[in-house]
Amino acid sequence: MATPPGARGTARPATHHPHPATAGNPTVLTGATVVLPTGTVENGQVTIDGTRITAVAPENAQVIDVTGHYVIPGFIDIHNHGGGGASFTSGSVEDILKGIHTHRLHGTTTLVASTVTGDMDFLAQRAGLLSELAEQGEIAGIHFEGPFISPCRKGAHSEALLRDPDPAEVRKLIDAARGRATMVTLATELPGGTDSVRLLAEHGVIAAIGHTDATYEQTVEAIDAGATVATHLFNAMPPLGHRSPGPIAALLEDDRITVELINDGTHLHPAALQLAFHRAGADRVAFITDAMDAAGFGDGRYWLGPLEVEVADGVARLLADGTIAGSTLTLDRAFKRAVTVDGLSVEDAVTALSATPARLLGMDDRIGSLEPGKDADLVLLDADYELKGVMRRGAWVVGPQLH
């Protein structure tokens, strides 16, 4: 498949600038409201030494008073297609790094790069390129969203390039990712779907149910075969019905499933988000962006795989038929909306943005919470939940902006 032309959005000047402090300079953040796994601590402190959080402050540590601010773990996005005008599916290495950095400026310190439906050979080539970035620690892994999805629920994917989830072809993508495949989204009701779920589970890759037209019973079968994630729950699947409950009921009721939610105010009504939280709980919800190139960049026309997208007022839709095409969301906005609009507690929002995705990725020994020994990945927010600083592995990416 030919690589699509680049994005044609209107660039916005960066508003955040890196702080001169770098990893290796011991730092103590004091006076903060700190969100810990055990609860929220007022007038707390977080100590960073090198790239890690530590329990004891070195004598030469720089002390920064962040009174009136929250310190929370860095955000973790397990479903992200790009940002800053750059696509993870079609961009160059330089483009991809630009997209990653755009999301870091908004608090996402760990990111899984998602592809969209394409020709199998093209996707295998992209997997090889992305795996190198994973090996360098720039991304946490690769998520293949498509081509193994339902034409009935294709969303912003090219129908001409869709295919049934033949386990041999699923294995081809896993192999191309060289051990860096994190997740594959499947319409598990298609021929080969259940066998592909078993294959993924055997190889330690997350099988995600999404872009699916499955019944309730077919979804239960896929979960029993090893599926553990619902790709952007509610979106690109049959709606919940009282006689035909479909996949939503099966995915919400099963404690083995982590549900992705896109909390941008476009993809979900607040009542749907509340339903998911009430049924699944924060421990089973992972907020995602499903971001495309326009995230952190601006309105204009873009390409999502081979399909052209128009972004207007921050909402991305296919030019051809108006179908929602990913989002322009960043996770700092998802956090603020969760607390100020959806009425979630700060603790539950932190769980859905950090602890739950870290555990899902099997990385909760390193990231996802503010604990001694873990990576110094954190976000600084003011009392209005506006981002005022981002630290990744002990180095400031943004701020701290305290005045």
User: Which residues are tagged catalytic?
Assistant: 290
CB 34 within 8 A of CB 370: yes
Q: What are phi and psi of 353, to 5 degrees?
A: -100, -15
Q: How far is residue 282's CA from residue 385's CA, in Å, rounded to a whole number?
A: 19
Is there a cis peptide before residue 147, judged by omega within 30 degrees of 0? yes
Contact call for residues 336 and 106 (beta carbons, < 8 A): no
Local structure of 206: helix, strand or coil: strand
Query: In Å, what is the CA distance from 42 to each residue of 28, 350, 363, 376, 383?
Result: 15, 16, 27, 20, 13
Q: Do residues 363 and 70 make contact, with C-beta atoms less than 8 angstroms apart? A: no
Strands 141-145 and 82-83: unpaired
Residue 4, both tokens: 């699509």
Classified as helix, coil or strand, 88 is: coil
DSSP state of 354: I
Residues facing 51 on adjacent strands: none
Strands laid side by side in the 300-304 sheet: 8-9, 300-304, 307-312, 315-318
Q: Which residues are within 8 A (CB) of 106 and not within 5 positions of it... i.e. 6 or more apart?
A: 75, 296, 330, 331, 332, 333, 387, 390
> DSSP per residue over 224-263, as a string?
HHT--EETTTTTTSPPP-SSS-HHHHHHHH-TTPEEEEE-
b vs e for 307-324, b when ≥16 Cβ sit within 10 Å of the residue's Cβ? bebbbeebbbbbeeeebb
Look up residue 399 and give its amino acid: G
Among 331, 365, 398, CA closest to 108? 331
